[in-house]
Amino acid sequence: MAAVLRLVPVEEYRIKMMRKAGRLSGEARAYAASLIQPGITTKEIDKALYKFIRSHGGAPNFYHLYGFRGSACMSINNEIIHGVPGNRRLEEGDILSIDTGAAVGDFKLDKNGTPHGGFHGDCAGTYAVGQISPEAQRLIDVTEQSFWEGIKNAVAGNRVSEIGRGVQAYVEANGYSVVRDFVGHGIGNEVHLSPEVPNFVMKSYPEGNPRLKVGQTLAVEPMVNEGTWRIRHNYQRDGWDVITTADGKLSAHYENTILITEGEPEVLTLVGD
């Protein structure tokens, strides 16, 4: 008897591939974190991460994206986001934020090696380098928990603003501040899509504060500062902008890609790390 060909609905296929992209992104984050130790450079971690993602059939979706020099953002201590992998050796007591993601499926690489199309995951975490201060560890813990507080509100029918409301309330109750200048985002066949997902309650929403829909995929990413929420721009020779805290105090970052479902959101980039 001939086999029956089953046609997989487009939406079912998309979600399957977003789960695949999320899993590889989460595995890449965990792998990079496992390499952290005093004496290693962020460039060494970045090169190993690139090889890891490529060897698993994906492509680092930050690789040369918007002119970035690397495959993952590596931000140290008071660097909030967009830190460039380099030759600085990590020291005992540092904290390191790693922001990474992978494209899978039928993506195409442009002339710079940046993937477009296919399906994308995005995640971040902040990690200790050796022994760190209790204050630094508390900042990391609060930042991660603020993500979970935010996505309690990531329910179909709620507005995007409810995610930020949960994040902000938890962060500020613990004496820290939420970065205002950068936000989370939609994600799918490119790494950055609408809608924007702020980590705080805005006075007005340029995109109209849309309601969340079943099947929607978002990258939720609290960026939390030890002191003021205000930032400083640090332009590199090539024009790249590394974002640091305005007061020089520590910052932490935690991010996952999530899927809006009929019930609680599904975290696509969590792999036991």
* pLDDT confidence of residue 168: 98
User: 273 falls in which pLDDT band (50, 70, 90)?
Assistant: low
| 92 backbone dihedrals φ, ψ, rounded to 5° | -50, 130
Residue linked to tokens 């979600």: 15
51 in helix, strand or coil?
helix
On the question of pLDDT at 2 being above 50, the answer is no
**Is residue 184 within 8 Å of 151, Cβ to Cβ?**
no
195 cis-preceded (ω within 30 degrees of 0) = yes
* pLDDT confidence of residue 10: 87
Q: Could you give the CA distance from residue 50 to residue 59 in angstroms, rounded to a whole number?
A: 8
* Averaged pLDDT of the chain: 96
Residue linked to tokens 């090169």: 47
On the question of pLDDT at 222 being above 70, the answer is yes
Could you report the per-residue pLDDT of 122-177, keeping only the tens digit for each? 999 999 999 999 999 999 999 999 999 999 999 999 999 999 999 999 999 999 99
The stretch 91-116 carries a mean pLDDT of 98
**Is residue 253 within 8 Å of 99, Cβ to Cβ?**
yes
Q: Cite the DSSP H helix spans in the chain.
A: 10-34, 42-55, 134-151, 161-173
* pLDDT confidence of residue 29: 98
**Is residue 125 within 8 Å of 194, Cβ to Cβ?**
no
* pLDDT confidence of residue 1: 40
